[in-house]
Structure 1
Amino acid sequence: MKRRAGAAIAVLAVVASVFTSAAPASADYIRDGEYWLNDYGITEAWNTTRGAGVTIAVIDTGIDSSHPDLAGAVTGGADFSGLGASDGQSPVGSSSESNHGTMVASLAAGRGNAPGAGVIGVAPEANLLSISIGFGENATDSDDQVAEAVTWAVDNGADIINMSLTRNTLSWPASWDAAFLYASEHDVVVVAAAGNRGSGTTSVGAPATMPGVLTVAGVDQDGEASLDASAQGITIGVSAPSEQLLGAIPGGSVMRWSGTSGATPIVAGIVALVMAAHPELDASNVINRVVSTARPAGAQGSDPIYGFGLVDAAAAVTADVAGVTANPMGDLAEWIRLNRRAVATAEPTVPPVETTSPEAPSLELAGPQNPLGTLYPTVTELRMVGLPLAIVGIFGTLFGVFVLLASRQFRAVRRRE
């Protein structure tokens, strides 16, 4: 039987309701509900570009390319779950999971189904790659699926990889090192969801913890941190709407939903607009334009709730931004050099027990290091200090007991006298 990864990978959506039929809905019903288009400078950015020539790979449960709002958007794909169609365009998973990839794709690059009608994405002229992965018991190892999917996306022309999913652990397997480093070396921007408190993810998990990844947190319609539809953590890059979202679902309908699964493709779409407007930029400078032009929110600088602030598409596309020589979200190659070397030279430990529980944490010694780690004693310190202290403590206790018994005996003799 095929086994799942030790730490379960899950999609990140809090679904509310399906509210349209398969027939195209009126423009007022859907377009007016896409409040983020105006509130986050997206329609203004369209005066410069609508994302033509940029390709966004959606690693998810597969995109229904037959949906009217996605007609012509999906230009290729693949399946790594072993459950879907070879082109990745047959949604896989349970009923709620199978909707997920199509919803995500429509927010990034939906085309609408008529002038002024249907779901239109942030980058409506960008292309999509549909890469389906699976999370069920019959799917192959989800960690392997992700590594293979990222590599395939890079090799097949992706400029951006959208990952509205989480491993629910700070750490990630070593196989992801090579895949995500491969994306970085080819100037592919990876955009990942922070996670949802409402789904039990209180702090960000991989891939959102990986250096170089643009991590997206969620806010409500007032621009305040979402209590249910966003997690928090020091790796957050920017924030985007994650509540009262509208997305296409397989079969031609539209669904209202919430979650950083939706905030992430909004930011991926903005990244596509930046790339289309500034084709000369490498991945580090594309990300820098997005984070440095975000509207301030929370603490000054990078905030564990809002990151650098609320994303602003118009500013990201048109503002004068100084160039950078390093990715503001970190350097994965340097992290690998420091941390995987530390793992390789660590003292031998008892091999971990293999588990198939979907709630089991990763057992690999990887992921961002605890900044408080130096407060804990090392093995050497325990050997040099802890053992002598333990011996002294034992003899001290025995001596105290002896004194107490002697004192009691002495008082008993005095009373008899």
Structure 2
Amino acid sequence: MHTATNAFTLRKTAAALALAGLSASFGHAALAAPPAAQGDFARGRILIEARAGLSDAELDTLVKAHGGKRRKLGQSRMQVVDLPPGLSEEDVVAKLSRRPELKFAELDRKVQPAMAVNDPYIGSAWHIGKIGAPSAWDSTQGSGITIAVLDTGVNAAHPDLKDRLVPGFNVQDNNTDTSDLCGHGTAVAGTAAASTNNAMGVAGIAGAARIMPVRIVYKDSTGGCPAYFSTIASGITYAADHGARVANVSFVGIAGSSAVKSAARYMKSKGGLVFISAGNNNIDENVVPDTAFIIVSSTDSYDAKSSFSSWGSFVSLAAPGTGIWTTNNALGYSAWNGTSFASPVSAGVAGLMMAARPDLSGEQVESLLFKTAVDLGAAGRDPVFGYGRVNAAAAVSAARAFVNPVDATAPLAAIAAPLGSSSVSGAVAVTVNASDNVGVTRVDLKVNGTVVATNSAAPYSFSWNSAGVANGMANLVAVAYDAAGNAGSSATVAVNVANATATTVVAADTAAPVVAINNPVAGTVNGNVAVSVSASDNAGAAGIRTTLAIDGLTVASGQGGSLSYNWNTKKTKAGTHTVTVTARDAAGNASTKSVSVTVR
């Protein structure tokens, strides 16, 4: 460790201890929710996600059958569905869950805050040395990386945070007010990224990273700050769409939510990672593990499980969470306890790794985090510590030394449903199994040679409108891609399309097709963007020829009622760009639709 880093650490610790007498308050632990079976949920709304390939018009038909009106979450496929008064949310979810066009439907459960474990310990920044952060700081302090803090807001006036903040969003109130309602978010933000080397207060793990405050809560009549699955999923999607590489959600009771999982997968598809706290109930939370996010349990200064920390097979990493000295809403500093603070410690380490090696994918950073963790408890991954306690020094060193292997192995793909030679009609659920030696980045579904849908997150499933092709045999092929550009195609599955046909004779076709851009919507995009369009015509979609252009340059074309394209915006200049689709029917009638988006 360099002398300058030693001096910096001493200054920060001395300042923190000097301020101990000024602020000896204690914070909240991780915001906690009761088990799903007992938890409250939002009345009058639910959450759904359409399979890739389902058009906006088809989705509208589904939700309108229940009197619903949908609202899209950012550039993702998830939707909040507002329901009319008097309907049973449970009944609508049960019915929509059986629809093959949807990935899931779930209640929008409330996440309730819980008071912290009170501990009279006012500590110095012991966790900084425990995880080897000063050694990591010799090579990186997180510059260039944005960490989204999804919480109660962040106090922008705090002297250790004000220079770190970038514009965020209040998804609860749909505005830009990200002030801290309950103080929890300010403490979490400071743990991850309070300013380093400024001779005051505390040191965040990634003290040169940017903090994006995303407020996901409201203040209830008791003074608490609950959130919903919908605001958390919306917050993660917002962070991913606006350039954050790391998102921290120090709430519990959310790891089983299909909406939160989908949002985390969406962020991972853009090279990011989502960190979630394990909880403070000191029990096995009995949650099924998932690779969508990183669940963090808490350790103390002796590398033992914190007395309050929950555990379970879903835990993937551990980090210090007892007596964490950090920023508070009173513009001072205090010691906080909970997995709420173990999670942003880990998120900060990920930020350091990404700053040291911006070219690494989220999956690669995650793998190195796990491989370099200090193995505690039972050998290997265990339910208490996951892969072990995070080690910033080793993780950053491994990231800097990592050499991307030459990947010449193509992914494997196979269509699991429908079966070959089966008869299909209307909306057809298509399921694809895909795997790769490194990782699958996306799967395209081709029908008769035209890409009709793209899916960038497992499980790979699609909704194909078979009315877009003529009756008779249609050939389905799935193509899986990896990060190196290798592509692997499935065997062709031929199915018999047997849709009802109209017998009415149309004397002359003068009506142009109706065309729609389902994704993206107007707004901000980054990373890989799944562009999807749909078209219909009075003479049938089978005769439509669709062309897709970006800034006037044709990038894809195909026959039928749907077309999909993967737009890698990393190869596009930042700024405003126009996506245009033109649909032309067999009679030569044409219509055009455009949307403008901003590439970050």
What TM-score do the two structures reach when normalised by structure 1? 0.67
Among candidates 53, 66, 75, match of residue 166 of structure 2: 75
Whether the aligned pair in 2 keeps the contact of 1:2 and 1:137 (CA below 8 Å) is no
Q: Which amino acid aligns with 2:335?
A: R
Aligned pairs, how many?
Answer: 309
- SS at the partner of 2:458? helix
1:171 is matched with 256
2:438 is matched with 325
2:18 is matched with none
Rounded Cα–Cα distance in structure 2 between residues aligned with 1:286 and 1:123 = 15
2:342 pairs with 1:263: yes
2:206 is matched with 123
Gaps of 5+ in 1: 20-28, 93-97, 339-417
Using a 3 Å threshold, how does the CA distance of structure 1 residues 9 and 210 change in structure 2: closer, same or farther? farther
**Alignment deviations for residues 220-260 of structure 1 (CA, whole Å, 9 cap, x no partner):** 110001121x1111122211111011121112121211100
Whether the aligned pair in 2 keeps the contact of 1:12 and 1:260 (CA below 8 Å) is no
Rounded Cα–Cα distance in structure 2 between residues aligned with 1:218 and 1:154 = 26
**Alignment deviations for residues 320-344 of structure 1 (CA, whole Å, 9 cap, x no partner):** 55768249xxxx9435759xxxxxx
Among candidates 162, 176, 179, match of residue 90 of structure 1: 179
Using a 3 Å threshold, how does the CA distance of structure 1 residues 120 and 146 change in structure 2: closer, same or farther? same
Q: Which amino acid aligns with 1:180?
A: A
Higher relative contact order (CA 8 A, sep 6+): 1
| Greater strand proportion | 2
Among candidates 150, 156, 164, match of residue 65 of structure 1: 156
Whether the aligned pair in 1 keeps the contact of 2:285 and 2:312 (CA below 8 Å) is yes
* Deviation for aligned residue 1:182: 1.6
Using a 3 Å threshold, how does the CA distance of structure 1 residues 112 and 334 change in structure 2: closer, same or farther? closer
1:147 is matched with 233
Rounded Cα–Cα distance in structure 2 between residues aligned with 1:141 and 1:14 = 17
Q: Which amino acid aligns with 1:81?
A: Q
2:193 is matched with 109
Among candidates 203, 206, 209, match of residue 285 of structure 2: 203
**Alignment deviations for residues 346-370 of structure 1 (CA, whole Å, 9 cap, x no partner):** xxxxxxxxxxxxxxxxxxxxxxxxx
Rounded Cα–Cα distance in structure 2 between residues aligned with 1:108 and 1:275 = 14
Whether the aligned pair in 1 keeps the contact of 2:328 and 2:334 (CA below 8 Å) is yes
Runs of 4+ deviating beyond 6 Å: 138-141
Whether the aligned pair in 2 keeps the contact of 1:197 and 1:227 (CA below 8 Å) is no
Rounded Cα–Cα distance in structure 1 between residues aligned with 2:253 and 2:393 = 32
2:138 pairs with 1:47: yes
| Greater helix proportion | 1
Using a 3 Å threshold, how does the CA distance of structure 1 residues 15 and 65 change in structure 2: closer, same or farther? farther
* Deviation for aligned residue 1:177: 4.7
Quote the RMSD (CA, aligned, Å).
3.1
Rounded Cα–Cα distance in structure 2 between residues aligned with 1:89 and 1:135 = 11
Identity between Structure 1 and Structure 2 (%): 29
2:594 is matched with none
**Alignment deviations for residues 25-60 of structure 1 (CA, whole Å, 9 cap, x no partner):** xxxx87xx0011111110110001000000000001
1:344 is matched with none
Q: Which amino acid aligns with 1:156?
A: H
- SS at the partner of 2:316? strand
2:385 is matched with 306
* Deviation for aligned residue 1:178: 3.9
Q: Which amino acid aligns with 2:232?
A: V
Rounded Cα–Cα distance in structure 2 between residues aligned with 1:8 and 1:2 = 7
1:285 is matched with 364
2:273 pairs with 1:189: yes
2:332 pairs with 1:246: no
**Alignment deviations for residues 242-281 of structure 1 (CA, whole Å, 9 cap, x no partner):** 1011121112121211100000111010000000111111
Rounded Cα–Cα distance in structure 1 between residues aligned with 2:116 and 2:270 = 33
Rounded Cα–Cα distance in structure 1 between residues aligned with 2:197 and 2:366 = 31
Q: Which amino acid aligns with 1:190?
A: V
**Alignment deviations for residues 109-133 of structure 1 (CA, whole Å, 9 cap, x no partner):** 0016941x30110000000100001
1:213 is matched with 293
1:352 is matched with none
Among candidates 103, 109, 116, match of residue 14 of structure 1: 116
**Alignment deviations for residues 61-120 of structure 1 (CA, whole Å, 9 cap, x no partner):** 1000110111211111110222xx93342112xxxxx110000000100016941x3011
Whether the aligned pair in 1 keeps the contact of 2:112 and 2:227 (CA below 8 Å) is no
2:244 is matched with 158
Rounded Cα–Cα distance in structure 1 between residues aligned with 2:362 and 2:299 = 25
- SS at the partner of 1:128? strand
Whether the aligned pair in 1 keeps the contact of 2:297 and 2:315 (CA below 8 Å) is yes
